[in-house]
Amino acid sequence: MKDRVSRRKFLGTASAAAVMPQLWASRQAVPFHAFLPEQAAPHVYPTRIVDMHVHFDEKKANFISDLLKLSERLNLTACLLTPFRNRKVVAEAAKQHPRQIVPFGFVDLDAPDVVQQAEELHAMGYRGLGEMEFVKKPYNDPSYFPLYELANRYGWIVLFHTGIVLREHFDEPEDVASGRMRPIYLEEIARRFPKITVLGAHCGNPEYEWAAEIARWNPNVFFDLSGSTLTKMHGRLAEFQKIFWWSATEWHSAEWNVRTPNNDPNAFIKIVFGSDTDLNEIESVANQYHAMFDACDVPERTRKMIMGGTLGKMLGLPD
Ligand SMILES: [Zn+2]
């Protein structure tokens, strides 16, 4: 939120023990691709990528033009998570470039006027909210219900941070706790407000099993794998098959066939692409997703849905 670059560095490197000492000593960027296997070849992106998790960075004067260039190169549509104060510039950019930018409102759930903020965002053409984070109460607290009711009425996608969260100020008291942002809280929101598409960022890191099980039983719940997870697990990516376990089984919910994107029975269909990184590292994260697909034998048609098909359909994006 406040400094996306340092956040990503923090998330992306927290588990990379080998580079930790240097990182902490120097506080310098460690390029994300440093953690990728050396043989990882760049992928070609013939079909559109939709990235659920791109934070608008007001500190970068050329952010929009840089994003448009990247979009051209990677065939990328960015769901742009936009602080309320930046709402106008992003709404304008999204109107001019609907194929490249989908505006999402980054609001503070605890703000007393959050419902009015969401109404204004809706009137401006915003397509959903996110990333919710740094909440003062657990996500399922009834005081947040008026906002969820509104989002339900709009049929919005709402992106919630789930799991471990960075510590922004080491020397000052902070009212921030990852325990308020556990993936299990998304279940109640999804069930009480069935027209919201509930999207959990970071797949609950490290509560992946809870995240997957909630996604399994709730057609309106999906997760992205942004953050440190794919770095942490890069040597054991096949473990995701144990977490998203139901692909090759007879299990299906009554609604499964009706509500699953493209009627895809593969468990990994509950994942969507999200990078949560600097623009110049999005391609590295896409490559990490592909390494996970290879390790877990994710079929081609499911990969396409994860990388853009599912969100493209939900958002009704032009081809
Ligand atoms: Zn997050």
Task: State the pTM of this model.
Answer: 0.86
User: What is the distance in A from the centroid of ligand 1 to the CA of 93?
Assistant: 24
Q: pLDDT tens-digit profile of 66-78?
A: 999 999 999 999 9
User: What is the distance in A from the centroid of ligand 1 to the CA of 226?
Assistant: 8
Q: pLDDT tens-digit profile of 78-132?
A: 999 999 999 999 999 999 999 999 999 999 999 999 999 999 999 999 999 999 9
- Mean pLDDT for 213-217 is 94
* Sequence letter at residue 226: S
Cα distance between residue 275 and residue 4, in whole Å: 12
User: What is the distance in A from the centroid of ligand 1 to the CA of 251?
Assistant: 31
Distance from the first to the final alpha carbon of the chain = 31
User: Taking a C-beta distance cutoff of 8 angstroms, is the pair 139, 189 a contact?
Assistant: yes
User: What is the distance in A from the centroid of ligand 1 to the CA of 306?
Assistant: 19
User: What is the distance in A from the centroid of ligand 1 to the CA of 97?
Assistant: 25
- Which parts of the chain are beta strand (E)? 49-55, 76-83, 101-106, 128-132, 157-161, 197-201, 221-224, 271-272
Residue (of 137, 113, 97) closest to 105 by Cα position = 113
User: What is the distance in A from the centroid of ligand 1 to the CA of 248?
Assistant: 31
Pair of tokens at residue 295: 């390790």
User: What is the distance in A from the centroid of ligand 1 to the CA of 189?
Assistant: 18
What residue ranges define each of the domains in the chain, with the CATH number in brackets?
4-28+45-315 (3.20.20.140)
